[in-house]
Each structure stands twice: as C-alpha cells, then as structure tokens.
Chain A
Amino acid sequence: MTASILDGIVLGFQFGLLAAGLTLVYGLGGVLHLAYGQMAVISAMVVLFTLDAGVPVVPAVGIGLIAGGLLGLILDLTILRPVYRLQGEARVLLSLLLTLGVAFVVDGFLNWRYPLVGLSLHVGGGPVELLGVPMRRGSLVASGVTLASFLMLFGFLRGTALGRAVRSVIEDEEGARLVGIDPRRMLRIILVMSGVLAAIVAVTRSMVAPVTVTAGFSITVFALIVTVVGGLGSVSGALLAGIILGVVNSIAASYIGTFLSLIILLAAAALTIVLRPAGLLGVRE
C-alpha cells in the first residue's frame, strides 16, 4: 500500500507539473493548447540529439529547456496571433483547432523522420529506502526536480512583481489593463514558461520511463484531464489533482490491473467534472 501511494505521488508530481503549464495558458489567455505534449516531445528530442552530439547531461538538459521556451515563443508569435483577436469561447475553439493542427504537423514529421526514437535518462545508483519501501533513484531525482520546479513556480507567481501581474490578469483582465498591465505581454511570458515546464516534464519523465516520439498526444490528454479536475487557471489545483489522480492510478494499477486503472482514472476525472465543474480549487462564478 505504502509503495503504491509513494509511486502515485511520484507520478502525481509529474501530472501536476504537466497540468500547471496548460492551466496557466488557459486561465490567462483562454488558449487551449493541444500541442502541449508535442512541445514536451520536441524538447525531449532536442535533449536526445544534444546528448548524441557528445554534450554532457546537464548542459544538454539546459538546451532542451531553452528549446521548450523558444517553442512557446514561436507559437505565441505565429499561430496564436489570430487567436488573440477573438474573445470567449470562439477564442478557445480556434486555439484548440489551430494547435491541433500544429500537433499533427509535429507528430507526422517526427514519426516520419525519427520513428522509434525515445529519450530515457538513466540516473545511476541502486534503489533508496524511503518509509521502508525501496524507491528507484530515478523516480526520486525526478520528483525532486519536479517539486523544485513547483516551488519556483509558486515563488514566481506569489513573490515577484511580474508573477503578481500574471495572476492579476488571471483574476481580472480588464482590471489588470486599467492598472497598466499589458495582458498580451503576460501571455507571451506564460507561453514561454509553459514551454519550459513541458520540457522539464519531458526530462523528468524520461528518468522513469522513455519519452517516445509518439507520446505527445497522451501527454496532452493527461495534462488536459488533470487541468480540468484541478480547476482551470489554478496552479495549486493542478498539483492537488495531479497527486490525487496519480495515487488513484497507481493504487488501482497494483490492486486491479493496468487496464481497469486507466478507466478508473478517467471515471474519477469525469465524476469530478460533473460534480464540480469548476474543478477542485477553481472558482465558479
């Protein structure tokens, strides 16, 4: 039991960080970013090719994170421009369709050019005992990095002027504009940040299981589900939902079997949305 809960928490941190990027982009800009998983995959591929070129791990990961941020910037400057001209649900829908197109292009290209390629980072050393359960060192390092990223994200959003400006736009876009905050600039910052977050998730995931070129779609779907369960626009909700769904998933997996565990996970998500459409920590007007 303890083992599956710990496994679930490890998984949950990743779910949570995955959802954090998506939830910020949605909460801030009303953009449903369906190429999110593909951004993670591209970053993973950048890390892989940099490693293959003989660059040591740490700088390679750094280059991967920069690539993720750049991808966010490119999206913001190109495909999302017409999206920003719309409002409300029309904006969500157009962003959804355009980023779906981007996801296809990326998936199709990667599958064609680099089929069967995957990134897996091996963290050396044997298992570490935690609460009487032997844990893989890779999982622990991944969780540490994820948790540190979360702390930095919270620190940014609550402790810095820029982060507070971002949150003010999520709270009330008109009000933020009135006090001189440019929502468009905040959105650009958040898109770059979401790219970096996607890259971090790709790197930490690859310490536990390989990140393959075809993983993009399932990453996006998981991020979407966790985001909605946690409440759109709420970073702490994303973390909470990630941990809950991660624990549900791994307990179900070890007691019932992997096939039903996914269905239980999906049912739990659907139930949360139906019972509480605003999500766990979302605010409903």
Chain B
Amino acid sequence: MTGRFSKATGTSVIGGAEQHPSRSMRTVFLLVALVGALLALVPLWLGSSRVMMGVAVLGLAFACYVIAFNLIFGSTGQLFLCVGALAGIGGYGGAILADTVGVPVAVAIALATVGASLTGGLLSWIAVRRSLGVIFTGIVTLIFSLTFENLLLGLGTLTGGESGFLISAGAGTFIRGQIPPYYLMLAMVLSFVIVHGLLRRSHFGWAFRALRDDEVAAELAGVDVARYRVYAAMIGAAMLGLAGATYAFAEGRISPTTFGFAQLDVTVIVMLAFGGIGTLFGPVLGAATFTFLDEVLIDFGRLRLVAYGTLIIALFLWMPRGVIPTVGDLFRRRRNRRQPGSSRGHSTSGPADDPPPLASTEP
C-alpha cells in the first residue's frame, strides 16, 4: 500500500505529461517569433507608465520561472517546490556579489546562475540517489525553500532581513531603465522556450517519453533516467537563477517576498496548471493571463486570495490539463469530425476519450 506512492521512478502519470513533438522545430521557431512579436508590442501600449512596465517585467520574469518549473516538473516529473528559493539564490547571490563584493554586474549574474544551477542539480541528485518519489521530492524541496527563507531573515547583516535592500550596482545603466529590461526579459523568455523545445527533441526528450510509455522497457533499453533528471534540474535551475538575478537588477530592490514560497512558487504552479503542464507555450500563456488578472483584481485587496483559490479549484475540476491541451483537443476533435479517417497516426488514445486529469493523451 505504501508502495503506491513511494514508487521511485513513477513518472507514468505526472512526469509524463509531455507531448510528443508532433510540431517540427520550424513550427516552434515560427510560434516563438509570433509570440515574441506580439509581446514586443506591449511597451508601445504601456511604455509611458513606469508602474505598468514594472508589472510587465515581473510577468516576463514569471514566464521564465514557469518555463523552468515546467522543464523540471512537467518534463521529468521532479516536483521542485523551491522555484522561489532557486530564483532567490540567483537574485540575492547576484545582488550581494555585485554590491558587497564588488563584482561587475554581468559576472555577478553569471556566478549566481551557476550557483543556482549547482544547487538545483544537488537537490535532484539527492532525490534521484535516494529514490524519492514525486511527493517526497516535493517535501524535501519545500523544506529547502523554508530553510532558504529563514536564512534570508536570519542573516540580516548580509540580506537586509525582512525589508531586504536596495541594489546600488547597475544603477544608471540600461538594466535599470524603463523599457530595456522588458526586452532583455522577453529575449530570455523566448530563448528559454527554444531551449525547452530543443531539449524535447533531443535524447533527453525521447528518454522521458519512452519512460512514460513503458517504464520497464525504457530502463531495459538502457535509458539512464537518473542522469537526465539531474541534467534537467541543472538546466531548469540555471534558468531560474538567471531570471531571478536579472529581475533583481532590473527592479533595483530585493526582499524575501520577491522570492517567497507563498508569493512565487504557488503562483508558478497555478500559472503552469492554467497553461498546461508539459506544453511549450503554456507557461507563457499562464504567466501572461495571471499577470493581467492580478492587475484587474488589485482593487479587491485581500479578497484577491479568495479569487485565486476559487480559480485554482475551478481550474483543476474542469480543466485539469490546462488551457492549451484542452483547446487543442477541441480543435482536433472538430477537424477529425470534418475529415473522418484522417486522425493522426500515433495517438494512443483517441481525442474523443475522456482523459484522466493530469495525464496527457496529447498525440
């Protein structure tokens, strides 16, 4: 009975929520260009307002976090509940290196990225070596998050404690401007999507799809799951560190709530669940939608949390796989009805089947 949940490499349902790459890489580049062009227009609309541009930059930072979380959790089934902590290692690491140690900003960001990546890799290595299942990985990384938050509060002389500190390095350069950080972050989001897309088409992607389709067969065929998991965690954590550090310098201010579990991790999970776990563009859609929604709901003040909670419940009850897979299914079903017999080949369960929540039947 306990084996039901402690299954070490049980990626059959959750970790396998990854699509087959039915899209060619060219389509991915085309979609990236389209999304990029669309988002590049945002400053024309909001560019005059410093506050709104700050919101937009935060939204893009969230898109980066969600892509990284999607890479680690959606593609390789490791529930990392320390997205905020890893981004915080980037943010605080970069800011402290630049401000207290006096390293140039670019070098500080690079070092912070490496630090986050190694931490993520270490956490994943522990989870893999000790065969922790999804839930246990989640709890160990949650404990790591709480420890990190408490360290931030406790090491007040270095981190400024609860109120954080103002970052003086980088002031007056383009990274502190009104529009440039937006494009910097946008470039990061788009390149992260491409990296994720390329990874899914590499050995790495095939390994995890093989694992989802038939775990035993995949392991017999020599798929080294453990190694790919650690790599995925390192790449995802590097993304988190890079985005966290860049955001910290763009914002010029840093505090524990910037990277807090309640503020960051929870939002990231909701955004990913909304967009669709395992999809390439779901993270961007989720981040954009919830950044917009957050601005709309800002007048509700404390009731915003109630709205969020209700939305989460409704979302998981009726659209457990997220918007992109659900809409994709509807679209495909209509097309199939129009052209009987032309349903695409390698779909294991037809689109008309009612798929179980959180499991992907995406062809």
Contact = CB atoms under 8 A, between A and B. Distances in A.
B133 A89 contact: yes
B226 interface: no
B320 A104 contact: no
A259 B154 CA distance: 6
Contact of B317 (A82, A224, A232, A269): A82
Nearest to A283: B2
Interface in A252-285: 259-260, 262-263, 266-267, 269-270, 273-274, 277-278, 282-285
B306 A104 contact: yes
A251 to B, nearest CB: 18
Interface string B280-310: 0000000000000000000001111111111
17 contacts: A27-B2, A30-B4, A82-B357, A89-B134, A92-B134, A93-B134, A94-B320, A109-B303, A173-B1, A225-B139, A259-B150, A259-B153, A262-B146, A263-B151, A270-B144, A274-B126, A277-B136
Interface residues of B, number: 53
Contacts, number: 154
B143 A108 contact: no
B194 interface: no
Interface of A: 27, 30, 32, 79, 82, 86-90, 92-94, 97-98, 100-109, 111-112, 115, 170-173, 217, 221, 224-225, 228, 232-233, 259-260, 262-263, 266-267, 269-270, 273-274, 277-278, 282-285
A87 B359 CA distance: 11
Given A93-B134, A262-B150, A88 B5 contact: yes
Contacts of B308: 101, 104, 108
Interface stretch (B6-14, B29-37, B167-175): B6-14
Nearest to B266: A100
Contact of B302 (A102, A111, A217, A278): A111
A30 B310 CA distance: 23
Interface of B: 1-7, 10, 13-14, 126, 130-136, 139-140, 142-144, 146-147, 150-151, 153-154, 262, 266, 269, 273, 301-313, 316-317, 320, 356-359
B302 A108 contact: yes
B305 A228 contact: no
Given A98-B313, A105-B310, A262-B150, A228 B139 contact: yes
B266 A273 contact: no
Given A89-B135, A90-B359, A170-B1, A98 B303 contact: no
Contact of B305 (A30, A107, A273, A283): A107
Given A266-B146, A277-B131, A101 B136 contact: no
